[in-house]
């Protein structure tokens, strides 16, 4: 407590003079507290002193305990060493006795086994001489086991002698067994009743000998069985392609006849399996010779029949002995060309599960490639072991398929009605679907015969056929006029299309899209069916590109056909007396003609074409009609201000007609992007008419602002359209050429399509001001502030009432149009 706080405390305790009487009791209380605190401090000091002494005593006691513990540990270690020495001395003699016992036991066992080996070899020699195969087989196994115990004593003379004797006995047994088996199949088995039993016991001896003996015996037996086969079918009479089926009948009959006799062989030998493998190899060799020795091309019927019978025989062997599972691709071939719009999720899942199963099966077969092929189902593939020799000679079959496909194609095209039956949903020509049905049947036939190079060759034939079909469809498209008459009448290159022609073109587009898509599915299916090393060659991209090109050409033909229909209306536009037009009225007759053409064609085209193709058609139509309308303005003789106003109204009407096409075609999916495209294409014609409407003194600046990519030649033609005299034109042209650096750099300027937007005016003045403001304010025009104001002021003159009487009428019409719910003028305000 600082000094000030102490004073405050005292004043608080004794606020008055009367309260000073309590000072003495307070002092006594404070002195008592001081004495109590002093006593506590003294007790604490004494306790601390006692604790220090006790800690020293505890530390000393702990040190003594550790020393005693170390002494006891050293004492225990010394006693342990003494105990170990004592145990070693006790066990030294016991180890010697143990080693002696072990050696004596080993010696006794070895002598006992040696005695058994000598006795067994002598017994085996007697059994071999008597051809007692059953006992000899058991004795062989016993001797083999006894010999294995003497592998470490090979250098001992007695052991070497016994091993040599055992080897000679095994050789004798082998020669006896081979000699007895040579009589099998000669008819002796029917004369000697116990021969089969003796051969069955001989098989036990062969199993007891080395595995190579069994291999040699089975190979000799199979070769002997097939000797007669080689002799029979190498003769001139049966060494023919049409006798192939008799080969397989021979081996089947041979196996069926000798089935009971061949039961003498153990099942583990797989004698019929090994016999069939050798038969297949010999048959393949003979068939290769027959096919190579043919002077002329083989008869396709005989060749395919032989191949079919070979494949059936291979399937029977694969089913009987296992291995080389056959993949089923019938469902995949059937799925080619099917519409998958209503395909469920479960169908898609099943499809890809099948693909995954095939892929895993292929991987499993690759892993099994290193298995022992001597046992059935161990990885040997009977499929293709014989039939693959036909592969190099199937070119005539492919040529026949190509000829058949081409004939069917010609027939389909000739019988095509170029129309769609009522109720059809895909709007595809019947010849397209029929062609792929024929191709699928051909693919099924070929995949049933081979999945190698021949299938790839046939796939390339399919590609040729599809390209030929694309050419047939292309030839059916309407063509432009050619020749002297067409050139003289101005119809050279123009395409005339009727309503039926337009429908046919739509059918061709849909058919080409169907063929393009189905060609890809065909290539995908073939790549899964064909041998993996050839799958990369199953590519139909060139045919797909052919059909894509056909789609583009057909749609452009459709556009050109409509362009030809527009010729009459465009010519009518140039014949309108624009220079003498007295007032602005409703849209012109040629606009009604354009509207009639589009409204009659568009609904049909929209109902027949797919959305993507209809959108492409619309884009091309707008990109064609917009520039053509712009160019057609220059073909007019002279345009007065009233005529320009009427033409601007017609331009807006044409633009509105184009914007309504998606609605007419009932395809509004991409209407927004199409609207922007139409606005961009028609904006140049609007800009041109606004230049023509501008006063003479501001026409050059307005031309630069609204048509920055224009040329001096076009500007001169605009002056002619305005009806200026040659002298006045030359003066304006001179001023224009002096002030035209911006036109020399069109790349730095915005195009009219992007710079001029379609106005939605309430009066002609607002429209002109809006267009001029949006253009002259663009930074890339490089105009100064004063020049911008000058252009804006001149453009504003378009809306001044004092300009001309005709323009006043135009303003009156537009004001009246605000109150109408429909009509061409109302559309100006709804745009």
pLDDT in tens, 470-509: 999 999 888 865 444 344 434 445 788 888 888 899 999 9
**Which is more confident, 26 or 186?**
26
| pLDDT of amino acid 65 | 92
Written as six digits, the tokens of 254 are 């041979």
HSE-up of 277 (CA within 13 Å, CB side)? 18
Band (332; pLDDT cuts 50, 70, 90): low
Least confident of 2-11, 215-224, 583-592, 781-790: 781-790
| pLDDT of amino acid 37 | 92
Written as six digits, the tokens of 98 are 């143990």
User: How far apart, in whole angstroms, are the C-alpha atoms of residue 542 and residue 467?
Assistant: 9
| Residues 37-63 as b or e (16 or more Cβ within 10 Å = b) | eeeeeeeeeeeeeeeeeeeeeeeeeee
Calculate the CA 119 to chain-centre distance: 75
Tell me the chain's radius of gyration from C-alpha atoms: 55
**Which is more confident, 761 or 79?**
79
In the predicted structure, residue 184 carries a pLDDT above the cut 70: yes
SS3 of 481, please? strand
Q: Which residues contact 224 (CB under 8 A, 6 or more apart)?
A: 182, 185
Average of pLDDT values for 576-587? 83
Query: How confident is the model over 622-633, as pLDDT tens digits?
Result: 888 888 888 888
Burial class (CB in 10 A: 0-12, 13-18, 19+), 357: exposed
The dihedrals phi and psi of 186, each to the nearest 5 degrees, come to -95, -5
Q: Which residues contact 166 (CB under 8 A, 6 or more apart)?
A: 121, 124, 143, 147
User: How far apart, in whole angstroms, are the C-alpha atoms of residue 429 and residue 509?
Assistant: 10
Written as six digits, the tokens of 217 are 């015996």
* Mean per-residue pLDDT over the chain, rounded: 76
Residue 752 to residues 182, 360, 624, 706, 733: CA-CA distances in angstroms? 102, 61, 16, 7, 21
User: How far apart, in whole angstroms, are the C-alpha atoms of residue 514 and residue 385?
Assistant: 40
pLDDT above 70 covers what percent of the chain?
76
Which secondary structure element, helix H or strand E, spans residue 217, and what is its range? helix 211-233
Least confident of 60-69, 315-324, 586-595: 315-324
| Residues 265-292 as b or e (16 or more Cβ within 10 Å = b) | beeebbbbbbbbbbbbebbbebbbebbe
SS3 of 614, please? helix
Average of pLDDT values for 217-221? 85
Minimal CA–CA distance to 605: which of 677, 514, 502? 502
HSE-up of 644 (CA within 13 Å, CB side)? 24
SS3 of 636, please? coil
Residue 757 to residues 641, 656, 680, 683, 770: CA-CA distances in angstroms? 22, 14, 7, 7, 9
Report for 120-124, 403-407, 567-571, 622-626: range of highest mean pLDDT:
403-407
| Residues 321-353 as b or e (16 or more Cβ within 10 Å = b) | bbbbeeeebeebbebbbeeeeeeeeeeeeeeee
Q: What is the pTM of this model?
A: 0.63
Written as six digits, the tokens of 86 are 């004592």
| Residues 466-495 as b or e (16 or more Cβ within 10 Å = b) | bbbbbebbbebbbeebeeeeeeeeebeeeb
Least confident of 203-207, 272-276, 484-488, 514-518: 484-488
In the predicted structure, residue 793 carries a pLDDT above the cut 90: no
**Which is more confident, 134 or 334?**
134
**Which is more confident, 381 or 190?**
381
In the predicted structure, residue 71 carries a pLDDT above the cut 80: yes
Written as six digits, the tokens of 794 are 């001149």
SS3 of 323, please? coil
Band (375; pLDDT cuts 50, 70, 90): low
Written as six digits, the tokens of 215 are 């291999």
| pLDDT of amino acid 408 | 92
User: How far apart, in whole angstroms, are the C-alpha atoms of residue 699 and residue 702?
Assistant: 5
Q: Which residues contact 379 (CB under 8 A, 6 or more apart)?
A: 323, 365, 368, 369, 370, 371, 373
Minimal CA–CA distance to 807: which of 667, 688, 648? 648
Region for 424 from its dihedrals, namely left if φ exceeds 0, alpha if ψ lies in -120 to 50, beta otherwise? beta
pLDDT above 90 covers what percent of the chain?
9
Query: How confident is the model over 647-696, as pLDDT tens digits?
Result: 889 888 888 888 887 777 666 655 677 788 788 888 888 888 888 888 88
Written as six digits, the tokens of 690 are 């606004």
The torsion defined by the Cα of 196, 198, 201 and 202, in degrees rounded to 10, comes to -100
Minimal CA–CA distance to 254: which of 235, 226, 291, 218? 226
Query: 């020799």: which residue's tokens?
Result: 389
- Sign of CA pseudo-dihedral 576, 577, 582, 584: positive
């Amino acid at each position: 407590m600082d000094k000030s706080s102490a004073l405050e405390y005292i004043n608080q305790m004794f606020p008055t003079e009367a309260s000073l009487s309590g000072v003495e009791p307070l002092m006594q209380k404070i002195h008592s507290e001081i004495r109590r605190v002093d006593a506590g401090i003294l007790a604490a000091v004494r306790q601390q002193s006692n604790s220090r002494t006790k800690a020293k005593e505890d530390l000393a006691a702990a040190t003594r305990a550790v020393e005693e513990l170390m002494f006891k540990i050293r004492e225990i270690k010394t006693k342990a060493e003494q105990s170990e020495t004592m145990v070693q001395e006790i066990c030294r003699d016991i180890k010697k006795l143990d080693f002696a016992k072990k050696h004596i036991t080993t010696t006794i066992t070895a002598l006992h086994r040696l005695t058994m080996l000598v006795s067994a070899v002598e017994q085996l020699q007697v059994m071999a001489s008597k051809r007692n195969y059953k006992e000899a087989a058991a004795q062989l196994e016993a001797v083999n086991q006894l010999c294995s115990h003497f592998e470490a004593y090979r250098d001992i003379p007695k052991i070497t002698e016994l091993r040599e004797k055992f080897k000679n006995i095994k050789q004798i047994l082998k020669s006896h067994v081979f000699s007895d088996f040579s009589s099998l199949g000669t008819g002796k088995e029917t004369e000697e009743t116990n021969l089969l039993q003796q051969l069955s016991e001989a098989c036990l001896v062969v199993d007891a000998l080395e595995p190579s003996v069994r291999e040699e015996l089975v190979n000799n037996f199979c070769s002997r069985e097939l000797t007669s086969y080689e002799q029979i079918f190498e003769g001139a009479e049966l060494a023919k392609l049409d006798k192939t089926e008799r080969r397989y009948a021979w081996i089947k009959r041979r196996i069926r006849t000798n089935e009971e006799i061949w039961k003498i062989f153990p099942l583990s030998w797989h004698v019929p399996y090994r016999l069939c493998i050798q038969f297949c190899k010999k048959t393949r060799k003979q068939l290769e010779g027959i096919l190579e020795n043919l002077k002329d091309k083989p008869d396709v019927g005989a060749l395919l029949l032989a191949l079919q019978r070979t494949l059936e025989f291979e399937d029977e062997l694969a089913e009987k002995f296992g291995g080389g599972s056959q993949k089923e691709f019938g469902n995949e071939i059937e799925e080619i060309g099917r519409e998958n719009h209503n395909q469920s999720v479960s169908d898609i899942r099943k499809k890809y599960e099948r693909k995954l199963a095939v892929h895993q099966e292929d991987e499993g077969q690759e892993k099994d490639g290193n298995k022992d092929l001597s046992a059935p189902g161990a990885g040997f593939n009977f499929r293709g072991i014989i039939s693959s020799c036909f592969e190099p000679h199937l070119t005539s079959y492919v040529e026949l398929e190509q000829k058949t496909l081409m004939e069917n194609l010609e027939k389909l095209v000739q019988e095509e009605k170029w129309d769609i039956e009522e109720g059809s949903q895909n709007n595809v020509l019947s010849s397209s679907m029929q062609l792929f049905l024929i191709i699928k049947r051909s693919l099924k036939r070929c995949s049933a015969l081979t999945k190698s190079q021949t299938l790839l060759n046939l796939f390339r034939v399919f590609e040729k056929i599809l390209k030929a079909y694309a050419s047939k469809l292309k030839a059916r498209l309407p063509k432009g006029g050619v020749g002297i008459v067409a050139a003289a009448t101005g119809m050279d290159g123009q395409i005339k299309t009727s309503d039926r022609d337009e429908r046919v073109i739509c059918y061709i587009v849909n058919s080409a899209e169907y063929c393009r898509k189905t060609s890809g599915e065909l290539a995908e299916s073939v790549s899964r069916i064909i041998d993996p090393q050839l799958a990369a060659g199953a590519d139909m991209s060139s045919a797909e590109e052919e059909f894509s090109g056909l789609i583009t050409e057909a749609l452009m033909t459709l556009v050109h056909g409509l362009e030809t229909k527009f010729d009459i209306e465009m010519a009518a536009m140039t014949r309108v007396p624009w220079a003498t037009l007295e007032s602005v009225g409703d849209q012109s007759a040629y606009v009604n003609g354009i509207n009639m053409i589009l409204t009659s064609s568009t609904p049909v085209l929209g109902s027949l074409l797919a959305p993507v193709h209809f959108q492409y058609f619309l884009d091309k139509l707008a990109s064609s009609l917009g520039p053509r309308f712009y160019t057609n303005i220059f073909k007019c003789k002279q345009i007065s201000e009233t005529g320009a106003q009427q033409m601007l109204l017609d331009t807006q009407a044409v633009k509105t007609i184009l914007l309504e096409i998606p609605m007419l075609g009932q395809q509004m999916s991409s209407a927004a992007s199409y609207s922007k495209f139409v606005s961009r294409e028609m904006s140049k014609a609007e800009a041109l008419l606004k230049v023509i409407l501008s006063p003479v003194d501001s026409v050059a600046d307005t031309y630069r602002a609204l048509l920055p990519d224009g040329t001096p030649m076009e500007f001169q033609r605009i002056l002619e359209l305005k009806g200026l005299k040659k002298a006045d034109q030359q003066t304006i042209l001179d001023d224009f050429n002096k002030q035209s650096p911006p036109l020399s750099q069109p790349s730095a300027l915005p195009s009219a399509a992007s710079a001029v937007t379609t106005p939605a005016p309430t009066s002609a003045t607002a429209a002109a001001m809006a267009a001029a403001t949006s253009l002259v304010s663009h930074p890339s025009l490089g105009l100064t502030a004063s020049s911008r104001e000058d252009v804006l002021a001149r453009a504003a003159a378009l809306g001044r009432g004092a300009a001309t009487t005709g323009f006043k009428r135009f303003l009156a019409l537009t004001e009246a149009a605000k109150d109408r719910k429909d009509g061409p003028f109302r559309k100006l305000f709804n745009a």
